[in-house]
Homo-oligomer: A and B are copies of this chain.
Amino acid sequence: MNNFTFYNPTRIIFGKGTETRVGIETAKYSKRVLLVYGGGSIRKSGLYDKVTASLKEHGILFMELSGVVPNPRVSLVREGIRLCRENKLDFILAVGGGSVIDTAKGIAIGVPYQGDVWDFYDGKAQIKESLPVGVILTIPAAGSESSTSSVLTNEDGWYKKGTGSDLMRPKFAILNPELTYTLPPYQTACGAADIMAHVMERYFTNTQDVDFTDRLCEATLKTIIANVPLAIAEPDNYAARAEVMWAGTIAHNDLLGTGRDQDWASHKIEHELSAIYDVAHGAGLAVVFPAWMKYVYKHNIQRFVQFAVRVWDVDQGFANPERTALAGIERLKEFFRRIGLPVTLEELGVRDDRYEEMADKCTMGDTFEIGGLVKLKKKDVIEIYKLARA
């Protein structure tokens, strides 16, 4: 086990009807708020009315920034920064999924920073300060509601990049599983793939002696595997929605990554897909992750055997670990397929003419190796895209 620090002060407020507490929680920090959300879905569902009523009830002035899209854009973040500065807003309230929260976090670090906010995502500046952020989560997926990170897309060149700091953990996150009843099956499935990927990026490690966090990872994956099909079959199954929502937060608050090297190659490989083709992040991960696994499993076969046996209940073939490992990967792929996700680039509508370009961006012109379990160069990334093709 590696040395680590773990600090996660986000206050989780979980359960039915909890969105009505947004006013009282926000008022602890500020009375001048920027409310960030996506399209019209929170208006249709009535959530917008509840949230604004609660803010008004607690005497909170707010302005709005809507129009956040999946693979959220840095341009909107810049607009949010301008709004905050011009109107002296000093708290960002995100109502939505990961894209909305990541936008809110970008605004929060951008307001007190002199330069352009993209500097943080481009690795040119370090986060030293952030406005406080609050969250009402409507999509369990990104884990951004209590994570340290934000991922944005820069339209100037279509780069998708992330930044992170403990300073970016939201002050509170309101998680009401009822708000996820209206998620379409495909979006629920994409969320599941994202949650599972957050666990697996941590699970596949070369760090020795990580028994406890291994088991926590396995517990989280099994929860998703058991409950997501239920949530898809019965969209208003509170129990299943609640399991997925809470597991989704824990999957990415980094408890599961404590004391271990992490991988994150699959996320980087997927980011290039999302940046160019604007595919749903979870769908991209469902395609990339099994391909990545097939490319690297020989490097640490016992870890893939453990994954197969403990997570997927594959019968352990002691005489043939490779077969066991491959069976685990196949089960993962089957699961993604079963919940309605694409598992090949073809299904995703991605053609094979830009693999080289994506691999090049992903490795910054082959100057940078990605991944913790196995260091991957540009040529490796191309091979993984090829494995994912069909």
B1 in contact with A5 (CB, 8 Å): no
Q: Which B residues are in CB contact (< 8 Å) with A223?
A: 211-212, 215
**In the complex the two chains form, what is the Cα distance from A259 to B18 in whole Å?**
14
Closest to A211 in B: B243
Task: Give the distance to chain B from A254, nearest Cβ to Cβ, in Å.
Answer: 11
Which of A8-16, A103-111, A313-321, A367-375 sits within the interface? A8-16
Q: Which B residues are in CB contact (< 8 Å) with A212?
A: 219-220, 223, 243, 246-247, 250
Q: Which B residues are in CB contact (< 8 Å) with A250?
A: 212, 216, 255
Chain A residues 314 to 348 lying within 8 A of chain B, measured CB to CB, are none
Q: How many chain-A residues does the 8 Å CB contact rule pick out?
A: 42
Chain A residues 9 to 42 lying within 8 A of chain B, measured CB to CB, are 9-18
**In the complex the two chains form, what is the Cα distance from A14 to B213 in whole Å?**
14
Q: Does A208 contact B (CB under 8 A)?
A: yes
Q: Quick one: which of B8, B14, B209, B226 contacts A4, CB cutoff 8 A?
A: B14
Chain A residues 221 to 247 lying within 8 A of chain B, measured CB to CB, are 222-223, 226-227, 238-239, 242-243, 246-247
Q: Which B residues are in CB contact (< 8 Å) with A259?
A: 14-15, 242, 246
B15 in contact with A11 (CB, 8 Å): no
**In the complex the two chains form, what is the Cα distance from A97 to B173 in whole Å?**
32
**In the complex the two chains form, what is the Cα distance from A8 to B242 in whole Å?**
20
Q: Quick one: which of B6, B12, B211, B219 contacts A215, CB cutoff 8 A?
A: B219
Task: Give the distance to chain B from A13, nearest Cβ to Cβ, in Å.
Answer: 5
**In the complex the two chains form, what is the Cα distance from A10 to B6 in whole Å?**
8
B243 in contact with A227 (CB, 8 Å): no
Closest to A240 in B: B209
Q: Does A102 contact B (CB under 8 A)?
A: no
B7 in contact with A9 (CB, 8 Å): yes
**In the complex the two chains form, what is the Cα distance from A11 to B5 in whole Å?**
7
**In the complex the two chains form, what is the Cα distance from A13 to B226 in whole Å?**
34
Q: Quick one: which of B3, B211, B242, B243 contacts A226, CB cutoff 8 A?
A: B211
Q: Does A363 contact B (CB under 8 A)?
A: no
Q: Which B residues are in CB contact (< 8 Å) with A7?
A: 9-12
Task: Give the distance to chain B from A236, nearest Cβ to Cβ, in Å.
Answer: 14
Q: Does A258 contact B (CB under 8 A)?
A: yes
**In the complex the two chains form, what is the Cα distance from A213 to B246 in whole Å?**
9
Q: Which B residues are in CB contact (< 8 Å) with A220?
A: 212, 215-216
Q: Does A2 contact B (CB under 8 A)?
A: yes
A: residues with CB less than 8 A from B are: 1-18, 208-209, 211-213, 215-216, 218-220, 222-223, 226-227, 238-239, 242-243, 246-247, 250, 255, 258-259
**8 residue pairs, one from A and one from B, having the closest CB atoms:** A3-B15, A209-B239, A215-B219, A9-B9, A6-B12, A7-B11, A212-B223, A219-B219
